[in-house]
Amino acid sequence: MFLDNLSADVICGAMGRQNWVARWTEIGDAQCLLADLNIKKGAFDEATEAWLCALTAFEVARRMVDEEDPKRGDISAKVETNIQKFRLSLRHKIERVKISCSDQAEFLAYYLPAGNSELCAPAVICISSEEETGATLLGRLLPAVIGRGMSLLIISHDDISSSSGSQVLLSCCLDYLSLRRDGNAGRIGVYGEGLSAALATDFAASDSRVGAVVCDGGLWSLTRLLASVGWMTRGAVDEDVVSELRLRLVRQLRCPALVVAGGRGIVSVSEAIKLQADCLMASIDMELAIPQMARTPAGEIENFVSFDDRIFGWLKHKLT
C-alpha cells in the first residue's frame, strides 16, 4: 500500500526521504526482533512471516536511500544478517552451494528449495543486477517465492560477467539443478536483472534446456548493433530493417520469454512495445512486463512487491 501511494506529498525533499528510510529500517528491525521471539517460542511459521516482512521493509528502505549514503551499506548488511538467521533457524532451509565447472571455475550461490515434498518442482536460475549482490537479490525475492512451490538458484552478476565464458557457467548452473534429487531438467527457467537480462537472453538462445526466460529479448544487443551500423553508415537505419533485426534476435530464443522494460530493465518501454508488436505478428511467445513506478522528488521508485509477484507468477505458469 505504501509503494502504491508514493507521491510528492509522501516524500518531500531530502529530509522527508531520510525520515522514511529511518522509518522503514525501524520497521525491519522490529520485525527481526519479533522473528527472534517467535523462534524462541518454537512458532516457526510466525517467525517466517516476520522475517519476510523485515526483508521487504529493508528493501523499501534500500530503494529510498541515496546510492552514496552509507546507510545503503548498513541496510544491505541487515539483509545478509537476516538471511543467515533464516538459513539456520527455520525449517525452510536456504543452502549455500558451490557451482563447479569442468574448467575448474567455481563460485558460490544460494539455493532455496521449493519447500514441499514435490521432487519435480520447477526451478529458476536468478542472476542479480550489476549493482546487487546475490544476497540482496535473495532478500528481495524470498517474500515473492515462499509458498509458490518453486526452487531458486541465486547467483551474482559479478560471478558470471567476470568470466569470458558466462554461458558455460550458466550451463553449469543448469546442470547442477538438473542433477539434484529435487530437480527436474525439463522445468528450469532463467531470470536476469539489469544487465544480467542480456546474459539471460544469450543463455536461453544457446541452451535448449531452458524452459522459460525473463530477459531483454535481445534488445540490448540490438541497441549496440544499431549504434555500430549508424556510426559506420553515418545515417539512420530503415525501420523495416530494424524490425527484421528484432525478430532475428528474438527468434533465437527456444522458449517463452517475458521481457522487462522500464524500471529495473535495461531497455526502453518504446522499444519493448515495438518488439512485442513484431512478436505478435510473427506468433512468437513473448510477453512484456512494465513495472509500476512512483515519481517523487527523490526520483522514481518501483513497486517491486507487485512486480516480483507478476514475474514469478508468469514463471510458475510457464514451467508447470
Query: What pLDDT is recorded for position 254?
Result: 87
C-alpha cell at 148: 509458490
pLDDT score at 223: 82
pLDDT digits (tens, 9 = 90+) for 231-288: 555 566 667 778 888 888 889 998 999 999 987 778 889 989 999 999 999 999 999 9
84 and 128 belong to one structural domain: no
- Residue 239: predicted pLDDT: 73
* Host H or E run for residue 48: helix 44-64
For the cut 80, the answer to whether the pLDDT of residue 1 exceeds it is no
- Rounded to two decimals, the pTM is 0.91
Of residues 285, 282, 288, the one with CA closest to residue 260: 288
Predicted local distance difference test score (pLDDT) of residue 10: 57
Query: 292 and 157 share a domain?
Result: yes
Percent of the chain, pLDDT > 90?
A: 52
Residue 62 lies in a domain: yes
130 and 194: one domain?
yes
Nearby residues of 158 by Cβ (< 8 Å), 6 or more positions away = 130
Q: Domain containing 77: what range?
A: 13-89
How far is C-alpha 135 from the geometric centre of its chain's CA atoms? 12
Domain C-terminal end among 48, 67, 89: 89
- List, as one string, the DSSP characters of 55-97: HHHHHHHHHHS-TT-HHHHHHHHHHHHHHHHHHHHSSS--EEE
CA distance linking residue 80 with residue 54, whole number of Å: 12
Q: What is the pLDDT of residue 209?
A: 95
Place 162 in a pLDDT band, splitting at 50, 70 and 90.
low
Q: What is the mean pLDDT of residues 116-144?
A: 88
Q: Does residue 283 lie within any of the structural domains?
A: yes
Residue 297 binned pLDDT confidence (cut-offs 50, 70, 90): low
**Where are the extended beta strands (E) located within the chain?**
95-100, 106-112, 123-127, 151-155, 188-192, 212-215, 257-260, 286-289, 293-296, 299-302
Band of residue 183 on the pLDDT scale cut at 50, 70, 90 = confident
242 and 312 share a domain? yes
Q: Which three cell numbers mark 293?
A: 513506478
Stretch 165-180: mean pLDDT: 91
Q: How confident is the model at residue 82 (pLDDT cuts 50, 70, 90)?
A: confident
Point out the domain boundary residue: 89, 114, 142. 89
**One domain for residues 38 and 128:** no
User: Using CA atoms, how far apart are residues 193 and 197, in angstroms rounded to an integer?
Assistant: 5
Instruction: Please indicate, yes or no, if residue 287 is contained in any of the structural domains.
Output: yes
**pLDDT for res 85:** 81
Residue 2: inside a domain: no
Query: How does DSSP assign 242-270, residue by residue?
Result: HHHHHHHHHTT--S-EEEE-STT-SS-HH
Give the domain CATH number at 31.
1.20.58
84 and 159 assigned to the same domain? no
Are both 186 and 271 inside the same structural domain? yes
What total of structural domains would you count in the chain? 2
Please, which pLDDT band fits residue 131 given cuts at 50, 70 and 90? confident
In a domain, 184, yes or no: yes
Are residues 213 and 281 part of one domain? yes
Q: Are residues 166 and 255 in the same domain?
A: yes
State the pLDDT at residue 287. 96
For residue 6, tell me if it sits in a domain: no
**Of 50, 72, 89, which residue sits at a domain end?**
89
Please check whether residues 121 and 191 belong to one and the same domain.
yes
Answer whether residue 238 is part of any domain.
yes
Residues 236, 144 share a domain: yes
What is the CATH number for 197?
3.40.50.1820
User: 36 and 116: one domain?
Assistant: no
Q: Could you identify the residue written with the cell 516482512?
A: 53
Residue 8 in domain: no
Decide if pLDDT at 67 tops 80.
no
Kindly state the average pLDDT of the residues 284-309.
85
Which of 11-20, 31-40, 184-193 is predicted with the least confidence, judged by mean pLDDT? Answer: 11-20
